[in-house]
């Protein structure tokens, strides 16, 4: 068996020819015909009124936080509540906008932001709440919309959310702003890329200027003004045409990719159900309001030692298995900001037990069977040189609230 990677990017049948066409056209900078068609396709998929392509989801998050700052700092609001269990870009976006990070804990069932803990962190300085839809599974947006009310922005980090839904709404389209990633590890990829979504007219107009380096160039391209100039602060977030061409080629496959990945996900869930019943592993919980996209599969082992042992064993069998985020509140930067490991106990506890398995559309039944057989053998203590034994005593996951 060849080495099985954790993830592989999907490429549609027309992807290579789309890139070649874009390069041959010579129209390499952004905001060209490929960008426009990709933007319209994403608009159709997400049913969002305003969609802007960006160079990364990190930049979409930075743009969202810049919009929060624009509307909130003047009225004394500068704190943003976000989960500690997330990628660094979520927190960096807050800091880069001159806002203050407030870490909250996650639900043990979904690893999404815990609305109860977020509620405890809200005060008169709260400018925004940033739930992260972990693994493409929707956060509790009813709860967060109620918490945000009219005075607090709701910004969705839907980096992993393309092709996933909360009720009947695409992730990223529910809050005041939403951010999606098209990084090489995501269901739909163009190598590096992202999208900024909003239904708010005022935010959309300001974001359009910010993306174009603080100029009204987009209005110029539409013929609204006869020349463009610097009108506000901004940055360079416009995606290049070859990447937009790749994105345009891949986007129409979003629903089918999600369906394929859900099938692989469900095979894992079925295969490991017997161990979940004995508490040897803890499987993810999908809430009724969530229609996930099969972005990634993970399970929780009883301890970090057992997680690490399983991971190293799978590596020896040529299977890439990996942990995920180190909780940001207890990272060196989080500690420098004044946070302590005990501030988010659920994140701290579960991050050390979480293990991801390979999941991508090109994963064959044979490869997945091989992965399942090796994980099962290890859990049963049948693997060669195996010191791991299933924990017969249930391990408890603490939930806040």
CATH code assigned at 189: 3.40.640.10
Same domain for 35 and 105, yes or no, is yes
Answer yes or no: is pLDDT of 160 > 50: yes
Query: Which of 224, 253, 282 is a domain's end point?
Result: 253
CB-neighbour burial class of residue 202 (10 A; exposed 0-12, middle 13-18, buried 19+): exposed
**Domain range for residue 372?**
254-380
Q: Which of 53-57, 199-203, 375-379, 394-398 has the lowest mean pLDDT?
A: 394-398
- Residue 389 banded pLDDT, cuts 50, 70, 90: very low
What average pLDDT does range 196-210 have in this prediction?
95
Same domain for 247 and 100, yes or no, is yes
What pLDDT, on the 0 to 100 scale, is given for residue 168? 96
Q: What does each C-alpha distance from 220 to 48, 234, 297 come to in angstroms? A: 24, 17, 46
Answer yes or no: is pLDDT of 147 > 70: yes
Same domain for 226 and 375, yes or no, is no
What pLDDT, on the 0 to 100 scale, is given for residue 82? 98
Same domain for 232 and 261, yes or no, is no
What average pLDDT does range 295-324 have in this prediction?
97
Express each pLDDT in 30-40 by its tens digit: 889 999 999 99
In a domain, 386, yes or no: no
What pLDDT, on the 0 to 100 scale, is given for residue 74? 87
**SS3 for the chain, per residue?**
CCCECCCCCCCCCCHHHHHHHHHHHCCCCCCCHHHHHHHHHHHHHHCCCEEEEECCHHHHHHHHHHHHHHHHHHHCCCEEEEECCCCHHHHHHHHHCCCEEEEECECCCCCCECHHHHHHHCCCCEEEECCECHHHCCCCHHHHHHHHCCCCEEEEEECCCCCCEECCEECCCCCCEEEEECCCCCCCCCCCCEEEEECCHHHHHHHHHHHECCECHHHHHCCCCCCCCECCCCCECCCCHHHHHHHHHHHHHHHHHHHHHHHHHHHHHHHCHHHHHCCCCECCCCCCCEECCCCCEEEECCCHHHHHHHHHHHHHCCECCECCCCCHHHCHHHHHCCCCHHHCHHHHHHHCCEEEECCCCCCCHHHHHHHHHHHHHHHHCCCCCCCCCCCCCCCCCCCCC
Answer yes or no: is pLDDT of 211 > 80: yes
Same domain for 245 and 267, yes or no, is no
Same domain for 134 and 166, yes or no, is yes
Q: Per the confidence metrics, is the pTM higher than 0.75?
A: yes
- In the chain, % of residues over pLDDT 90: 87
Express each pLDDT in 164-187 by its tens digit: 999 999 999 999 999 999 999 999
Same domain for 279 and 319, yes or no, is yes
Answer yes or no: is pLDDT of 391 > 60: no
Answer yes or no: is pLDDT of 385 > 70: no
What average pLDDT does range 267-286 have in this prediction?
95
Query: Which of 201, 236, 253 is a domain's end point?
Result: 253
In a domain, 358, yes or no: yes
What pLDDT, on the 0 to 100 scale, is given for residue 27? 83
Taking the CA atoms of 387, 301, 185 and 368 in sequence, report the sign of the dihedral they define: positive
Residue 259, Ramachandran bin (φ over 0: left; ψ between -120 and 50: alpha; else beta)? alpha
In a domain, 9, yes or no: no
- Residue 29 banded pLDDT, cuts 50, 70, 90: confident
Q: Which of 176-180, 222-226, 249-253, 374-378 has the lowest mean pLDDT?
A: 222-226
Same domain for 233 and 364, yes or no, is no
The pairing of beta strand 194-198 with beta strand 50-54: antiparallel
Query: Which of 253, 284, 303 is a domain's end point?
Result: 253
- In the chain, % of residues over pLDDT 70: 95
- Residue 384 banded pLDDT, cuts 50, 70, 90: low
CATH code (residue 318): 3.90.1150.10
* Cβ neighbours of 150 (radius 10 Å): 4
Answer yes or no: is pLDDT of 393 > 50: no
Express each pLDDT in 320-370 by its tens digit: 999 999 999 999 999 999 999 999 999 999 999 999 999 999 999 999 999
Query: d(Cα 152, Cα 150) in Å, to the nearest integer?
Result: 6
Which residue did the predictor score with more confidence, 223 or 146? 146
Q: Please report where in the chains the tokens 């106990």 appear, as a residue.
A: 345
Answer yes or no: is pLDDT of 400 > 50: no
Answer yes or no: is pLDDT of 73 > 70: yes
Query: d(Cα 57, Cα 55) in Å, to the nearest integer?
Result: 7
Same domain for 246 and 259, yes or no, is no
Express each pLDDT in 79-89 by its tens digit: 999 999 999 99
Give how many domains the chain has, as a whole number. Answer: 2
Answer yes or no: is pLDDT of 392 > 80: no
């Amino acid at each position: 068996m060849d080495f099985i990677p954790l993830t592989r990017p999907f490429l549609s049948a027309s992807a290579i020819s789309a890139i070649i066409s874009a390069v041959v056209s010579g129209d390499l900078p952004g905001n060209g015909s490929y960008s426009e068609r990709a933007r319209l396709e994403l608009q159709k998929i997400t049913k969002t009124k305003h969609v802007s392509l960006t160079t990364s989801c990190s930049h979409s998050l930075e743009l969202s936080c810049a919009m929060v700052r624009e509307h909130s700092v003047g009225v004394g609001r500068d704190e943003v509540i976000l989960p500690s269990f997330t990628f660094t870009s979520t927190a960096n976006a807050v800091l880069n906008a001159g806002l203050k990070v407030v870490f909250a804990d996650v639900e043990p069932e979904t690893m999404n932001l815990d609305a109860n803990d977020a509620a405890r962190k809200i005060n008169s300085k709260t400018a925004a709440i940033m739930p992260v839809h972990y693994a493409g599974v929707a956060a509790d947006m009813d709860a967060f919309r109620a918490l945000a009310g009219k005075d607090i922005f709701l910004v969705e980090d839907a980096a992993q959310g393309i092709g996933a839904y909360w009720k009947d709404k695409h992730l990223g389209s529910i809050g005041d702003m939403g951010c999606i990633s098209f990084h090489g590890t995501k269901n739909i990829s163009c190598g590096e890329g992202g999208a900024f979504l909003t239904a708010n007219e005022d935010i959309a107009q300001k974001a359009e200027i910010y993306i174009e380096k603080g100029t009204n160039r987009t209005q110029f391209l539409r013929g609204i003004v006869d020349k463009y100039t610097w009108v506000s602060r901004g940055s360079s977030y416009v995606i290049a045409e070859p990447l937009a061409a790749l994105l345009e080629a891949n986007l129409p496959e979003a629903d089918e990719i999600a369906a394929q990945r859900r099938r692989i996900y469900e095979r894992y869930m079925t295969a490991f159900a017997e161990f979940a019943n004995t508490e040897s592993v803890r499987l993810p919980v999908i809430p009724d309001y969530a229609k996930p996209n099969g972005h990634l599969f993970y399970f929780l082992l009883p301890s970090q030692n057992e997680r690490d042992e399983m991971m190293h064993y799978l590596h020896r069998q040529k299977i890439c298995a990996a942990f995920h985020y180190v909780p940001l509140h207890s990272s060196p930067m989080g500690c420098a900001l004044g946070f302590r490991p005990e501030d988010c106990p659920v994140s701290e506890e579960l991050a050390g037990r979480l293990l991801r398995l390979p999941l991508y559309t090109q994963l064959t039944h044979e490869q997945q069977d091989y992965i399942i057989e090796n994980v099962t053998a290890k859990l049963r203590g049948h693997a060669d040189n195996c010191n791991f034994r299933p924990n017969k005593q249930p391990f408890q996951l603490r939930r806040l609230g």
